[in-house]
Structure 1
Amino acid sequence: MNLEDGGRIVKKDKSSNKPVILLNIDSLMPQPLEIAVQTDQTPALKFLMENGMYFSNMVNSFPTMSVTIDSSLLTGTYPDKHQIPGLHWFDTRNLQFINYGTGLRETFRIGWRRSIHNMLYQLNHEHLSSQVTNIYEELAKKQLHSASINSFVYRGNKTQKLKAPKILRTFTKFENGEWTAQVPSIFSLGTFSKIRKKGFPTQIAAGNCKYTAKELRYLIRKNKLPSFTFCIFQDMDARIHLKGPTDKKLIKKIDKEIQKILNMYPSWEKALEKNIWMIIGDNGHAATGTSYRKGLINLRKIFKQFKVAQIQRRPKNNDQIAFCVNQRMAYIYILDKEISIRKLIELLQRESRIDVIAWKDGEDVHVVSGMKSGMITYRNGGIYTDIYNQNWSINGQLDILDLTLTKNQFISYGDYPDALARLSGALHSHEGRFIVVNAKPGYEFEAQSTPFHLNGAAHGSLHRQESLVPLIIAGTNEKPLHRRFVDMKNYIINLIDSN
């Protein structure tokens, strides 16, 4: 018998001495996946689903942006612990905007050099909290190897020299574009680090689905699969932003690459005997409208009476507020100590397209809405228990967060999965006085040079459309303790530990 961290006793699975391969398909959503499988458009995904377990409602992190989600998956924590607040946030300690690459115009404004440095180095070596460990680091302590392919969240225990290609060297802060990084045992990230020496990435900063699949096939062919391999297929996100959440073209394309991987074994059934396979999405998307005026919530117009900091420079002494937009959510920072947070809240509540407006006051989290009246206040610890065995103290209007409370003081979630923990996680992810705002489906926020996605789709919010993603597990009968990304780390390590 094996005792898990949560006190749950499980049987050892005889198949758990197999390598774990986790394939993260960016923007894979349950409905288009299920349609593609049911109509025989994706043979590999259908095989894994029918010969394994399928969960359509895995809860990711918040904000629903890849760097935050991947950090939660790998560390088993929300942003209050791993401290990656989003793709765009403001460092109040050093008074600078942190952007990992939200869009061409915004990246250009902030500065290519700074954004690239943030993504390639600071994300893993300065911003990702040293107080948490990820799967790679945990396995390294056990003298076990792991692989990261195409993930920008990669911190590991092995020291490795990385070098930017000539075209990017002037955009880095390192001499000759070379720096020392801490990476997993096996590390692949575009031209910066390749598993196959003669491999040629089709993208400078990372590889597309074909390149990622080739790197994984190389490990299988050379019998070099480590205990854990994490691969990301990023291609689909850009297309979904443009075409909308029901598009299936790239699901079929990625499935062909998974077919090639499975075809390396004598049979697909043999592939399940040799390895544990997991396919997971990272974020969903909410469809957006066609009207610029109706579809975009302009934060500068809402706060037109205030002096707003410009993202291309450090805030000036007379700047009062700052915006960091993550598509359908945003952080609003209060730089002027004389400004009452309540005054800003009142302005936000006049906007009916904002469904969640939240801020912290010590350990308390307050939430109001532009759609509903009243307020809900909650904090960690208390008499109410949710489906994840988390305890809370709650007062106020439960319907603001679509919560249901039963007679036995049990909390269930509706439109905002694991809302209490996820929202608190974002509010306690970094220092400063700030407000978190969430747009209702169909809308996204706009500030200075913010990318937007009219007639397509966007993500970032707390809503279930972006928060619930699929997970397929094949090659083992063990299940995660809960259907959340933050439970995947312990689940994977427990599978490997039971060797």
Structure 2
Amino acid sequence: MSSSATGNSQNKPIIMLIVDTLMDETLQKAIENDKAPAFQFFMEKGQYFPDLVSPFPTMSVTVDTSLLTGTYPDQHNLPGLVWFDKQENRLINYGSSFQECRKLGIHQTLEDAFFNMNNKHINQDVETIHETLWEQELESTSINALVFRGNTNHYYKFPLLVKWFARMNDNLAVKASEGFTYGRFSKYIPSNQNQHFWQRFGFNNTFSTQELLHLIERDKVSPFTIVYLPDLDKWIHKHGRMYTKGIEKVDHQLQNVLNSFDSWEEALEKYTWILLGDNGQAWIDSDKQKALVDLRNMFNDYKIMKLNKGVMPEDQIILGVNERMTFIYTLDSKNLPVSDFVPYLEKDERIDMIAWKNSDWIEIRSGTQKGKLKFRPDGDYKDDYDQEWSIEGDPALLDIDLGDKHIKYGEYPDTLARIASCLNSHEGDYLIASVKPGYEFIGEGSPTHVGGASHGGLHRQDSLIPMIVTGTDSSPEYLRMIDLKKWILSMLVKQ
């Protein structure tokens, strides 16, 4: 496709900036303290939506796939950062921690993250924004986004150290958007300095914004460009939810982008801007003993798969820990059904949601309160997203109000659809669980964030993110990540 295809758009090009772990409360505090003038400018000139709902689990790879495909995990099939692939009989990990990845194998982890996630693991029957725009002969660009599947073959340029140490093959193509930046491994600016090992090989805010500025200054911005700014996530993980200095640092990058125009107003005249987070983070207790829910201790009656050994004949359980959420798989569903795990989890009052499939129903239990709840699609109850459900039992387990047959969600946004999609996201016999704010799960080698913040969970602290939109009065049908694709395409594709 030639660059002339960009002329097919009837509207202004869209630049979407995904600020990892951007949260309303933190953003508002920074603006209140006059520390975020660029964010404030965008907000005053456009629309502000404080409570956009992310999919579950609230991990970036799952969230970004939902954004690009307009579907929950039951359709796009990318369940989380860590999950068990029944077909390949192995645990997939796209990079939760160096310790876990080292035990699973550095080569395999990098191969999954660089190639398999986009080429193989995302369901081929769903279409990304990049693929839809390609069919409409409209160019799109992805800058440092973790999920980027498109129709164009790209080849990474791995440094010699990476090729030697991790045995990475740079003759293997990855399918991506036509314009494509992925750290130092695929970039526009040959001399971009922010790409060294200690700078995460270019996966940082400065690198991302410099790549965007390269396109803006040369007037080569695609009709749709997505730019991923990853740094706030690690700062919030370390310092906690209200680390406003992180917002200040991101704002300086936004100012650099706006300052590349003759005026900040010109930036709004030339482009439609969408600024949003991907997931929130919940606070984590500073007491290590309280904060960490150790699943190995909880299930020490069973044989848990060791990361460095893979699945062995004697193994009974596999743990797929996604920070504040976990998959727990049984390897012998006949003699060890996942319902056998429930009593262990119910004993821990830090665990607020336990769910598994039971025939056509989804069963819910909790460690925070007694009672039973079950639900399934279709029925007499309808929620704010026009989804219909059958519900039996105590709705308080999921903080749901069922007045007048209308479902009102509380601490767990769009919780029925999100739980159902998670339990139907991939093959296997598994149970899922989530913990209250203040806590996170650990298994073998899991990252921990004691005294900071973490995500993955079902709670609103993990799940709600803000979005700023300039250049259009339109908005998504519903304020959920899965509703953005249809809305974005409506602004770019002639109806």
Letter in 1 for 2:228: I
32-41 vs 96-105, greater mean Cα deviation = 32-41
Match of 1:301 in 2: 297
2:448 pairs with one of 452, 458, 469: 452
Match of 1:193 in 2: 186
Find the residue that maps to 1:170 and give its secondary structure.
helix
Rate the CA distance shift 1:63–1:379 in 2: closer, same or farther, 3 A. same
CA contact (8 A) 1:381 1:392 kept: yes
2:345 pairs with one of 348, 353, 370: 348
Q: Are residue 476 (structure 1) and residue 472 (structure 2) matched?
A: yes
> 1:73-112 alignment to 2 at 5 Å?
73-112=67-106
Letter in 1 for 2:213: R
CA contact (8 A) 1:20 1:228 kept: yes
CA contact (8 A) 2:107 2:168 kept: no
Gaps of 5+ in 1: 1-14
CA contact (8 A) 1:319 1:336 kept: no
Residue 235 (structure 1) shift: 0.7
Residue 174 (structure 1) shift: 4.7
Match of 1:8 in 2: none
Rate the CA distance shift 1:171–1:16 in 2: closer, same or farther, 3 A. farther
413-422 vs 336-345, greater mean Cα deviation = 336-345
24-33 vs 304-313, greater mean Cα deviation = 304-313
1:18 pairs with one of 2, 12, 15: 12
TM-score (norm 2): 0.95
Residue 171 (structure 1) shift: 4.8
**Sequence identity (%):** 39
Residue by residue over 1:396-424, the C-alpha shift from the partner in whole angstroms, topping out at 9 and shown as x without a partner, is 110111111121x1111000000011111
1:181 pairs with one of 152, 174, 185: 174
Residue 207 (structure 1) shift: 2.9
Match of 1:461 in 2: 457
Rate the CA distance shift 1:364–1:24 in 2: closer, same or farther, 3 A. same
Letter in 1 for 2:70: G
Q: Are residue 316 (structure 1) and residue 309 (structure 2) matched?
A: no
> 1:234-253 alignment to 2 at 5 Å?
234-253=230-249
Letter in 2 for 1:291: D
How many residue pairs end up in the alignment?
483
Residue by residue over 1:38-76, the C-alpha shift from the partner in whole angstroms, topping out at 9 and shown as x without a partner, is 222111110100110111100011101100010011110
Rate the CA distance shift 1:155–1:171 in 2: closer, same or farther, 3 A. farther
Q: Are residue 377 (structure 1) and residue 374 (structure 2) matched?
A: yes
Letter in 1 for 2:161: I
> 1:24-39 alignment to 2 at 5 Å?
24-39=18-33
What is the distance in 1 between the residues matched to 2:25 and 2:165? 40
Q: Are residue 118 (structure 1) and residue 80 (structure 2) matched?
A: no
Rate the CA distance shift 1:238–1:297 in 2: closer, same or farther, 3 A. same
Q: Are residue 442 (structure 1) and residue 438 (structure 2) matched?
A: yes
281-290 vs 140-149, greater mean Cα deviation = 281-290
CA contact (8 A) 1:190 1:201 kept: no
What is the distance in 1 between the residues matched to 2:165 and 2:53? 36
Match of 2:52 in 1: 58
CA contact (8 A) 2:158 2:168 kept: no
Rate the CA distance shift 1:169–1:460 in 2: closer, same or farther, 3 A. same
276-285 vs 342-351, greater mean Cα deviation = 342-351
What is the distance in 2 between the residues matched to 1:497 and 1:63? 31
Q: Are residue 290 (structure 1) and residue 286 (structure 2) matched?
A: yes
Gaps of 5+ in 2: 1-8
Find the residue that maps to 1:117 and give its secondary structure.
helix
1:422 pairs with one of 418, 425, 433: 418
Q: Are residue 391 (structure 1) and residue 385 (structure 2) matched?
A: no
Residue 208 (structure 1) shift: 1.3
2:65 pairs with one of 48, 71, 83: 71
Residue 16 (structure 1) shift: 6.7
1:129 pairs with one of 77, 98, 123: 123
Letter in 2 for 1:236: L
Residue by residue over 1:188-212, the C-alpha shift from the partner in whole angstroms, topping out at 9 and shown as x without a partner, is 0111111123323434544311111
What is the distance in 1 between the residues matched to 2:84 and 2:201? 24
Residue by residue over 1:415-458, the C-alpha shift from the partner in whole angstroms, topping out at 9 and shown as x without a partner, is 00000111111110111111101011101111111111111111
CA contact (8 A) 1:48 1:473 kept: yes
CA contact (8 A) 1:163 1:178 kept: no
Residue 33 (structure 1) shift: 0.3
Rate the CA distance shift 1:440–1:142 in 2: closer, same or farther, 3 A. same
1:339 pairs with one of 327, 336, 339: 336
Find the residue that maps to 2:126 and give its secondary structure.
coil
TM-score (norm 1): 0.94
Residue 148 (structure 1) shift: 0.2
Residue by residue over 1:125-159, the C-alpha shift from the partner in whole angstroms, topping out at 9 and shown as x without a partner, is 11011011010000000000000001121111111
CA contact (8 A) 1:403 1:414 kept: yes
Q: Are residue 230 (structure 1) and residue 222 (structure 2) matched?
A: no
Find the residue that maps to 1:192 and give its secondary structure.
coil
287-296 vs 458-467, greater mean Cα deviation = 287-296
Residue 238 (structure 1) shift: 1.1
Find the residue that maps to 2:489 and give its secondary structure.
helix
What is the distance in 2 between the residues matched to 1:492 and 1:76? 10
Letter in 2 for 1:471: M
What is the distance in 2 between the residues matched to 1:139 and 1:461? 32
Q: Are residue 325 (structure 1) and residue 321 (structure 2) matched?
A: yes
CA contact (8 A) 1:284 1:468 kept: yes
2:354 pairs with one of 330, 353, 357: 357
Residue by residue over 1:325-347, the C-alpha shift from the partner in whole angstroms, topping out at 9 and shown as x without a partner, is 10000000011231133321111
Backbone CA RMSD of aligned residues: 1.5
Residue 313 (structure 1) shift: 2.5
Match of 1:10 in 2: none
Residue 308 (structure 1) shift: 0.8
Letter in 2 for 1:194: K
Residue by residue over 1:294-342, the C-alpha shift from the partner in whole angstroms, topping out at 9 and shown as x without a partner, is 1111111111111111122221111111101100000000112311333
